Structure 1
Amino acid sequence: MTTTEWAGAAAIVDGPGGYTGVEATPEWADEVRRLARARNATVLAHNYQLPAIQDVADHVGDSLALSRIAAEAEEGTIIFCGVHFMAETAKILSPDKTVLIPDERAGCSLADSIDADQLREWKAEHPDALVVSYVNTTAEVKGLTDICCTSSNAVDVVASIDPDREVLFLPDQFLGAHVKRVTGRENIHIWAGECHVHAGINGDELTAKAKAHPDADLFVHPECGCATSALYLAGEGFVPDDKVKILSTGGMIDAARATGAKQVLVATEIGMLHQLRKAAPGIDFQAVNDRASCPYMKMITPAALLRCLQEGKDEVHVAPDVAERARLSVQRMISIGNPGSGE
Structure 2
Amino acid sequence: MMNIEDTLAKRGYLNKEIPEGLDLKKEINRLKEEKNAVILAHYYQTAEIQELSDFLGDSLQLARAAQETDAEIIVFCGVHFMAEAAKIINPTKKVLLPDLLAGCSLADACSGEALMEFKNQHPGAVVVTYINCDAETKAVSDYIVTSSNAEHIIAQIPKEQKIIFAPDKNLGAYLSKKTGRDMILWDGSCIVHEAFSLERIAQQLAENPGAKLIAHPESEPPVLEAASFIGSTSALLDFVEKDAAETFVVATEEGILHEMKKRAPEKKLIPAFPEDYSCQCSECMYMKRNTIEKLYLCLNYEKPEIIMEEELRVQALEPIERMLKMSEKIK
Q: Which residue of 1 aligns with 2:7?
A: none
Structure 1 residues 180-199: aligned runs within 5 Å: 180-186=176-182, 188-199=183-194
Structure 1 residues 69-108: aligned runs within 5 Å: 69-108=65-104
Asked if the contact 1:219/1:266 (under 8 Å) is kept, the reply is yes
For structure 2, list consecutive stretches of 5 or more residues without a partner in the other structure: 1-10, 274-279
SS at structure 1 position matched to 2:229: strand
Once the 2 structures are TM-superposed, how far is the Cα of residue 158 of structure 1 from its aligned partner? 2.0
Once the 2 structures are TM-superposed, how far is the Cα of residue 27 of structure 1 from its aligned partner? 1.8
Once the 2 structures are TM-superposed, how far is the Cα of residue 19 of structure 1 from its aligned partner? 7.7
Cα RMSD for the two superposed structures: 2.3
Asked if the contact 1:202/1:224 (under 8 Å) is kept, the reply is no
1:267 maps onto 2:251 in alignment: yes
Higher RCO (CA < 8 A, seq sep 6+) = 1
Question: 1:258-312: CA deviations, max 9, x gaps?
Answer: 1111111100011111111111111111101242111111111122111101111
1:324 maps onto 2:324 in alignment: no
1:279 maps onto 2:269 in alignment: no
1:309 maps onto 2:309 in alignment: no
Q: In 1, distance between residues paired with 2:224 and 2:71?
A: 42
Asked if the contact 1:267/1:287 (under 8 Å) is kept, the reply is yes
Aligned residues: 314
For structure 1, list consecutive stretches of 5 or more residues without a partner in the other structure: 1-13, 235-243
Question: 1:122-143: CA deviations, max 9, x gaps?
Answer: 0110121000000111111111
Asked if the contact 2:139/2:319 (under 8 Å) is kept, the reply is yes
1:177 maps onto 2:167 in alignment: no
Identity over aligned pairs, percent: 38
**Aligned in 2, Cα 1:51/1:159: closer, same or farther, shift over 3 Å?**
same
Q: Which residue of 1 aligns with 2:232?
A: 248
| Equivalent in 116, 134, 154 of residue 120 of structure 1 | 116
Asked if the contact 1:20/1:304 (under 8 Å) is kept, the reply is no
Q: In 1, distance between residues paired with 2:70 and 2:321?
A: 21
Q: Which residue of 2 aligns with 1:137?
A: 133
Q: Which residue of 2 aligns with 1:11?
A: none
**Aligned in 2, Cα 1:208/1:22: closer, same or farther, shift over 3 Å?**
farther
Q: In 2, distance between residues paired with 1:172 and 1:106?
A: 19
Q: TM-score, normalised by structure 2?
A: 0.88
**Residue 205 of structure 1 aligns to which amino acid in structure 2?**
R
Runs of 4+ in 1 over 6 A off after TM superposition: 18-23
Q: In 2, distance between residues paired with 1:22 and 1:249?
A: 34
Q: In 2, distance between residues paired with 1:258 and 1:26?
A: 40
Q: In 1, distance between residues paired with 2:96 and 2:85?
A: 12
| Equivalent in 107, 110, 115 of residue 111 of structure 1 | 107
Once the 2 structures are TM-superposed, how far is the Cα of residue 331 of structure 1 from its aligned partner? 2.0
Question: 1:1-26: CA deviations, max 9, x gaps?
Answer: xxxxxxxxxxxxx89xx889869x99
**Greater alpha carbon shift after TM alignment, 332-341 vs 133-142:** 332-341
**Residue 209 of structure 2 aligns to which amino acid in structure 1?**
P
Q: In 1, distance between residues paired with 2:300 and 2:17?
A: 15
**Aligned in 2, Cα 1:248/1:339: closer, same or farther, shift over 3 Å?**
farther
